[in-house]
Chains A and B, each alone.
Chain A
Amino acid sequence: MGYQLDFSKVLQGEYLDLILQGLQTTMILFAISWVLGLLLAVFLTVVRAIEFKPTQFLVAAFVEYHRNVPILIQLFVWYFGFAVVLPDAVNDYLNDIGAEIGYAIVALALNKAAYMSEDFRSGLRSIHPAQMEAARSIGLTYLGAMRWVILPQAWRLALPALLGQTLILFKGTSLAAGIGVAELSYQARYVEEQSFRIFEAYGLVTLIYMLISFAIMWGSSVLSTRYRLRVK
C-alpha cells in the first residue's frame, strides 16, 4: 500500500477553509435547531399537559411521527416535499439564498422538539403528586405552584435526557449533508474528492466531531451532577 499520510494538504489553504466553513455551518445548524427545538418542546409539553383530547392527540401524533421515521427521511420530506407546495417564485428565491440549511434547521428542530418534549413529560410525571398538593396547601396558585415548585424540579429531572438529546442533535447535523447542506461531513466528502487525501480529510473531520462531542459529554456530566435532583 503506497499511501503516505500527509496532513499538510488539508491543514492549509483552500481545503482547510472549506472544512472550517463546514464546521461553521454545522455549529449554526446545531445551535439554531437546539434553541428552536427546546422552545417548541416546552410549548408541546404545556399543550399536552392541558386536558383537552384533540390537542393532546395532535401532540402525540407529532411526537410519534418524529420518533418513528428516520431523521434523514424527515429531511427529505421537507427538502423535496415541502418545496412543491410553495409557488415557483418562492422556491427560486429560497434556492438563491441557500434554502437547504433552512429546511435542515426546520427538520432537525422539529425532530428534537418531539424528543425533548417527551423528556420534559417524563420529568413532570416522575414528580410525586404530593408536591403539587403541598405547594397548593401553602397558598400558591396552580400557576405559582408550577412556576416555583413543579417546573424547577421537572427540568432538573429531564436534564440528563435533554443533554443526551443535545449530543444526538450535534451528531445528527451531519445528516443535513443528505440534502446538500455544506456542513462538516459534506465538506469532508468534497475535500476528499478534490484532494484525494481520504484519510487526512476524514481524519481531520472525525477529530473535530470527536472533540466537540467530548466537550458536550463533559459538559453534560458536569451539569447533570450540578443540577441532580436528589429525592429521598
Chain B
Amino acid sequence: MIAFQNVSKWYGALQVIHDISATVEKGTTIVLCGPSGSGKSTLVRAVNRLEPIQKGRITLAGRDIHAKSVNVNALRTGIGFVFQQFNLFPHLSVIDNVMLPLRRLRGQSRKQALPPAMLMLERVGLADKAASLPADISGGQSQRVAIARSLILKPDVLILDEPTRALDPEMVSEVLKLLKELSGGGITMMCVTHEMGFAREVADRIWFLKKGRLTFDAPPDLFFSKDTHPDVQGFMSAIHRHH
C-alpha cells in the first residue's frame, strides 16, 4: 500500500531521515517508535506531504506521492491525519468539525452531511457531544473527534502522530481502545506512539527509528522477544525507567 524507497530528508544541512526503505501492506497497522528526534514524525508527515523529501520515493498504491502531477489536496483526502494536539477548529462545534470535510470538500449540504457525521460520532462514542464546542470537551474526547474528522472521507490510510502524548494518563486508554477497534476494520494505519502495550497488541509490524534510520522492522513477537535489536532493548529500559 505504502512504500518508502531510499527516502532521505534534510533540514538545511542537518539530515533527519537517512535512506529509509520499507513497505506497509494494505490493511495492516504499523507502529513507529524510537527516541525523540529519531525522525518518526517527520517520516509519517512526509506521507501526507506535510513535509517534502529531498531523495527517494514514497508511493501510495503505486503512485509517487511527491510527483508534481499528484494533486496534493486529492491525495490528502485519501489519507486521514491525526495530530498530537488534536487541532480541532475551535469556532466549530464537534459535529461541524466532523462535517467540514464533507461540506467543504464534497460540497454536501448540512442536511446531507449530518447523518454520516452523526454515525461517525457514534462510532467514536461521542454522539452526545455533537453540539459541544471543542473548548468544552476533554482532551481524550477531542482526540476522538479529531479521529472521527479524519475518517469521515473514508480514507484508505490513517496516520496518527503521537495521538495520546498530549493526553492525561486517564484519557489515554479511551483513545487507544478506539484505535484498536479501527485497526481491525481494514484500514491501513501508521501510528507514532510510545504506548508499547498498544504496539504489542495491535501492531502488525513495529518500526524502530534511531537518528533518522530505520534500524529495526519486526512483528511484535520478535520485537518484544529476547532476540530483539540491541537499540530496542536500550530504548525499552529507558521507557520503563520513565513510567
Contact = CB atoms under 8 A, between A and B. Distances in A.
A152 interface: yes
A137 B50 contact: yes
Contacts of A230: 90, 133, 135-136
A136 B79 CA distance: 12
Nearest to A227: B91
Given A139-B77, A152-B91, A230-B135, 9 more contacts: A137-B83, A138-B77, A138-B100, A138-B150, A139-B101, A153-B90, A156-B91, A230-B136, A232-B90
Contact of A134 (B83, B91, B133): B83
Interface string A114-134: 000000000000000011011
A149 interface: yes
A105 B228 CA distance: 77
Contacts of B83: 130, 133-134, 137
Interface in A127-177: 130-131, 133-141, 144, 148-149, 152-153, 156
Contacts of A144: 104-105
Interface residues of A, number: 21
27 contacts: A131-B87, A133-B83, A133-B87, A134-B89, A136-B76, A137-B48, A137-B50, A137-B83, A138-B77, A138-B81, A138-B105, A138-B149, A138-B153, A139-B73, A139-B77, A139-B101, A140-B73, A141-B73, A148-B100, A153-B90, A153-B91, A229-B90, A229-B91, A230-B90, A231-B135, A232-B135, A232-B142
A207 to B, nearest CB: 39
Contact of A139 (B87, B89, B92, B153): B153
Given A139-B105, A148-B104, A231-B135, A134 B76 contact: no
Interface of B: 48, 50, 73-77, 81, 83, 85, 87, 89-92, 100-101, 104-105, 133-136, 142, 149-150, 153
A139 B76 contact: yes
A162 B178 CA distance: 43
Interface secondary structure of A, over-half rule: helix
A131 B85 CA distance: 10
Interface of B (DSSP majority class): helix
Nearest to A138: B101
A125 to B, nearest CB: 16
A130 B92 CA distance: 16
Residue among A133, A229, A230, A232 with the highest chain B CB neighbour number at 10 A: A232
A138 B76 contact: yes
Interface in A84-127: none
Given A138-B105, A139-B77, A140-B105, A232 B48 contact: no
Contacts of B134: 232
Contacts of B77: 138-139
Nearest to B86: A134
Contact of A149 (B81, B89, B153): B89
B60 to A, nearest CB: 14
A130 B50 CA distance: 11
A139 B74 contact: yes
Contact of B50 (A133, A139, A148, A229): A133
Contacts of B91: 152-153, 156, 229
A3 B197 CA distance: 89
Nearest to B149: A138
Nearest to B155: A139
Contact of B81 (A131, A137, A152): A137
Contacts of A139: 73-77, 101, 105, 153
Contacts of B104: 140, 144, 148
A202 to B, nearest CB: 45
B143 to A, nearest CB: 12
Contacts of A138: 76-77, 81, 100-101, 105, 149-150, 153
A188 to B, nearest CB: 43
